[in-house]
Amino acid sequence: MKPLIIRQATLADGTSGDLYLIDGILADAPAATAEIIDAAELLALPGLVDPHAHLREPGNEAAETIATGTLAAARGGYTCVLAMPNTTPATNGPDEALWLLDRAAAVSAQAQVVPIGAITHDRAGKRLAELSALAESAAKVRVFSDDGACVMDAALLRAALETVASFDGVIAEHAQDAGLAGAMACCGADLEACAASHLPVWPRDAEWRIVERDIALAEATGARVHICHVSTLESLDLIRRAKEHGVRVSAEATPHHLLLGSDLLIQSTARNGPDTTYKVNPPLRPTADVMALREAVADGTIDMIGTDHAPHTSVDKGKPFPAASPGMIGLEQALSVVMETLVNPGMIGWPDVARLMSHAPATLAGLDNQGQPLIPGNPANIVLIDPNRRAVVDRERSASKARNNPYHGMNLPDPVVCTIWAGQVTYRR
């Protein structure tokens, strides 16, 4: 591995200097010979960590693979992604988790892949997956989720919380009450707007009633619960109050819920019929929720940004709206959107970006080799950022296999210049 010198980069705290990379570690002195990267105009942050990505392998390699998903991650500045277990088979136990790690190594994944374990076997909500075995395995799984589905059986969720508490694991909940939302629900706008557009409504309380239940169970068990992709201000209020009461709850916001509103779906429906690009769970919400979510990131109610990168084939996205697969991709534009919605308007600073997009997700997963400040002795996981560059997003120029990119055609910040994972350049513009 060739030593690197990153010359005169500005760090999150505003200080600047050279970074010396030797054998995958930040060193306090340069190697005798090294490649030099001039970063005089660039910011250097710890490599980003995504707590919520769908890599689709095994089982749906037509939509994404570990190779293509981690390439998209590297392009977005990520050095680590937590892989959701809604694969086929699901990540039910050590066999599946270790397979993922082996596969990531075999395909030379361009970012660290960390398996998230299923909470229930096959995410079917009937019996627990092999939680303790996953934690004790070489994969050291700490985060568990049935993402895509909510654990509707409260007794089963309580059992899961009690189990993961014994090894300080965390349950990451996809808060969607299956009964209240219904199988076809897709519209997150106000009731009248959904009705006028003839779109099946995904009501707000289908989210916050689950958030309320899960907070109560976390409080009762003393276990950690993490709320995925929060979309409503009611959920934010519940999380804010629970934190004030010392409940061990954390929460994530997606880039798409920070930038895009339900008006996109309503307007596309009025023009040409609903655009499946804007179908996602939980759905895009009205402007008041989008703004509340930004405030919640700024005030610390939201702990981290999770992309919910959800690649789908054009066949699955091309179905009639109610049957089309929910989800949008996000790894390549996550930092762009965080800059556009939060950094550039002055709501958060670069140290907050490092916390929200690197340190906090690494801590959630119990990783000590990611999310660390850029000081000697720490792993050389770095993203170099040009804060001034912008570009029009072109979904055809994606490393992802999928084209369900909701930012296509938008002029957004285009910050990522170089990504370095464990001392190796994984992306360079």
Least distance from C-beta 97 to ligand DOR, angstroms? 18
Looking only at the bridges linking them, the beta strands covering 4-11 and 249-253 are unpaired
Q: Considering the rule CB under 6 A, would residue 148 count as an interface residue with ligand DOR?
A: yes
Q: Is the C-alpha dihedral spanning 105, 131, 133, 381 positive or negative? A: positive
Q: Does the bond joining 282 to the residue before it have cis omega, within 30 degrees of 0?
A: yes
**Which residue's CB is nearer to ligand DOR, number 187 or number 353?**
187
Give the one entry of ligand DOR, Zn ion, none that residue 142 binds, where binding means its C-beta sits below a cut-off of 5 to 8 angstroms depending on kind: none
**Which residue's CB is nearer to ligand DOR, number 117 or number 326?**
326
Q: Considering the rule CB under 6 A, would residue 316 count as an interface residue with ligand DOR?
A: no
* Burial grade of 126 (CB within 10 A; 0-12, 13-18, 19 or more): exposed
Which residues make Cβ contacts (< 8 Å) with residue 194, sequence separation at least 6? Answer: 187, 200, 201
d(CA 422, CA 170): 26
Least distance from C-beta 316 to ligand DOR, angstroms? 9
Planar angle of CA 121, 127, 133, nearest 5 degrees:
60
Q: Considering the rule CB under 5 A, would residue 174 count as an interface residue with Zn ion?
A: yes
Count of residues in contact with ligand DOR, rule CB under 6 A: 12
* Residue 177 is a catalytic residue: no
CB 150: neighbour CB atoms within 10 A? 24
Q: Considering the rule CB under 6 A, would residue 64 count as an interface residue with ligand DOR?
A: no
Per-residue x/- track, 388-427, ligand DOR (CB under 6 A): ----------------------------------------
**Which residue's CB is nearer to ligand DOR, number 94 or number 326?**
326
Contact between 275 and 328 under an 8 Å Cβ cutoff? The reply is no
Give the one entry of ligand DOR, Zn ion, none that residue 12 binds, where binding means its C-beta sits below a cut-off of 5 to 8 angstroms depending on kind: none
Q: Is the C-alpha dihedral spanning 368, 373, 379, 380 positive or negative? A: positive
Least distance from C-beta 57 to ligand DOR, angstroms? 13
Per-residue x/- track, 122-151, Zn ion (CB under 5 A): -------------------------x----
Q: Which of 130, 147, 252, 303 binds ligand DOR (CB under 6 A)?
A: 147
Identity of residue 257? H
Stretch touching ligand DOR by CB under 6 A, among 5-13, 90-98, 320-328, 389-397: 320-328
Count of residues in contact with Zn ion, rule CB under 5 A: 3
Which residue is closest to ligand DOR by CB?
A: 327
d(CA 125, CA 10): 48
Looking only at the bridges linking them, the beta strands covering 143-144 and 170-173 are parallel
Distances (CA, A) of 88 to 122, 248, 311, 323: 8, 31, 15, 20
Q: Considering the rule CB under 6 A, would residue 309 count as an interface residue with ligand DOR?
A: no
Give the one entry of ligand DOR, Zn ion, none that residue 277 binds, where binding means its C-beta sits below a cut-off of 5 to 8 angstroms depending on kind: none
Query: What residues make contact with ligand DOR under the rule CB under 6 A?
Result: 54, 86, 147-148, 174, 280-281, 308, 310, 325-327
Indicate which residues carry an active-site annotation: 308
